[in-house]
Amino acid sequence: MVRPVLVLTHAPHEGPGMISRALDGIPYGVRTVLDVAEPRLPSVADLGGLVVMGGAVDADDERNHPGLAAERRLVAAAVEADVPVLGVCLGMQVLALALGARLHRRHGTEIGFAPVDVVADDPVLAPLGPRPIVLHWHDDAVDLPPGATLLASTPATPVQAFRAGSAVGLQFHLEVEPSMLDLWLGVPDMGGLLDDEVRDGVRGDGARHLPDLVPAAVAGLGAWADAVRTRARAQG
């Protein structure tokens, strides 16, 4: 039996998106424990993989969002047990904190489609090419966790992606497909915070770049999902 993947979300509009497509045939469940002080989370021994999605909160704001501490503990245990972990945006920051890195609030805002420099070979980023144009939507940043490998960078955010053992963190959004982008641009706490010119620019850039980005992103996310399948075969 294939162990399921747990997807932790922090906002109803920031779901797994194309990650669910990459997980084709692998069971997964979605939970939100952000504001639960003592959530009942599964043992990592029962997980085929762990995904931690994005959101608007600060990754270290446990006073207002106590579930973040439980997420961090589960992520650390998953990496220790060699369970495939994927952290996206806020999820990458939770992953980095779980591995001992520091968070830098309001380090630099990046919103919209822009390139990242891929600086190391990794199966998740390889399908994107050396300087893909991806969707950014953040203003916090993290240091590279001790022992992790830097995978991608921009001048504004030196740590845009990293690998630490079985875990991959992505500050940018490979999970976004056109319908999700439309949703984000219409949500008050995302697109509603942008001025009309920026919002229209993101929408137009999405129409230009997503047709090429989506298949490459599906391939890269599929490489991560393959690690989940490999874990299942090894335990079968």
Q: Identify the CATH number of the domain in which residue 214 sits.
A: 3.40.50.880
Domain interval for residue 215? 5-235
What are the mean pLDDT values of the chain's consecutive 10-residue runs (236 residues total)?
A: 91 96 95 96 96 97 97 98 98 98 96 98 98 98 98 98 98 97 96 96 98 96 95 71
> Which pTM does this prediction carry?
0.97
Q: Which of 14, 89, 136, 138 is catalytic?
A: 89
Whether 138 is a known active-site residue: answer no
3 state SS of 182: helix
113: which DSSP letter?
A: E
Please report where in the chains the tokens 């590279």 appear, as a residue: 144
Q: Which two tokens stand for residue 226?
A: 């393959």
**Residue pLDDT, tens place only, 44-60:** 999 999 999 999 999 99
Q: How far is CA 54 from the centre of its chain?
A: 6
How many whole angstroms separate alpha carbon 59 and alpha carbon 57? 6
Q: Is 80 a catalytic residue?
A: no
Of the residues 10, 65, 138, 173, only one is catalytic, namely: 173
| Amino acid found at 211 | P
Question: For position 154, what pLDDT does the model report?
Answer: 98
Phi first, then psi: what are they for 125, rounded to 5°?
-100, -15
Residue 62 known to be catalytic: no
How many domains are there within the chain?
1
